[in-house]
A = this chain, B = another copy of it.
Amino acid sequence: MSDTAPLGKVVVFGVGLIGGSFALALKAAGQAAEVVGFGRTLGSLTQALELGIVDRAGFNVGQEVSNADLVLIATPVGTTPEVMARIAPCLGSQTVVTDAGSTKEDVVEAARACFGERIGQFVPAHPIAGAENSGALAARPDLYRGKQVVLTPLAESSELSIARVRSAWEACGGEIRELAPAEHDRVFAAVSHLPHLLSFALVHDLARRDNRELLFAYAASGFRDFTRIAASHPEMWRDICLANQKALLEELDRYREQLDELRDALQRGDGASLEATFDVARTARREWAESKTRT
Query: Which A residues have a C-beta under 8 Å from some C-beta of B?
Result: 128, 130, 148, 150, 177, 187-188, 190-192, 194-208, 212, 214-216, 218-235, 237-239, 241-242, 245, 248-249, 252-256, 258-259, 262-263, 266-267, 269, 271, 274-286, 288-289, 291-292
The smallest C-beta distance from A249 to any residue of chain B, in angstroms, reads 6
A291 cross-chain contacts in B, Cβ below 8 A? 216
Quote the shortest CB–CB distance from A185 to chain B (angstroms): 11
Known: A259-B252, A281-B230. A274 touches B242 (CB 8 A): yes
Question: Which residues in B have their C-beta under 8 angstroms from that of A212?
Answer: 284
- 27 example contacts (A-B, Cβ-Cβ < 8 A) are as follows A190-B215, A191-B215, A191-B218, A191-B223, A194-B202, A195-B202, A195-B227, A196-B222, A198-B198, A200-B277, A201-B277, A203-B285, A204-B277, A204-B284, A205-B258, A206-B284, A219-B288, A231-B286, A231-B289, A232-B282, A234-B276, A235-B275, A237-B278, A238-B275, A252-B266, A256-B256, A256-B263
Q: Evaluate contact between B229 and A225: CB separation under 8 angstroms.
A: yes
With A187-B215, A266-B245, A291-B216 known to touch, is A238 a contact of B202 (CB < 8 Å)?
A: no
The answer to whether A259 and B201 have CB atoms under 8 Å apart is yes
B197 and A234 contact, CB distance less than 8 A: no
**Interface of chain A: mostly helix, strand, loop or mixed:** helix
Q: Are A218 and B284 in contact (CB under 8 A)?
A: no
A138 to chain B minimum Cβ distance, whole angstroms, is: 15
B-side contacts of A269, CB under 8 Å: 242, 245
- Assess whether B206 is in contact with A275, with CB atoms less than 8 Å apart: no
B266 A192 Cβ-Cβ under 8 A: no
A202-B255, A249-B266, A262-B197 are contacts. A234–B190 as well, Cβ < 8 Å? no
A199 contacts B216, CB within 8 Å?
no
| Bound CA–CA A269/B200 (angstroms) | 17
Which partner residue on chain B sits nearest A192 by CB separation?
Answer: B222
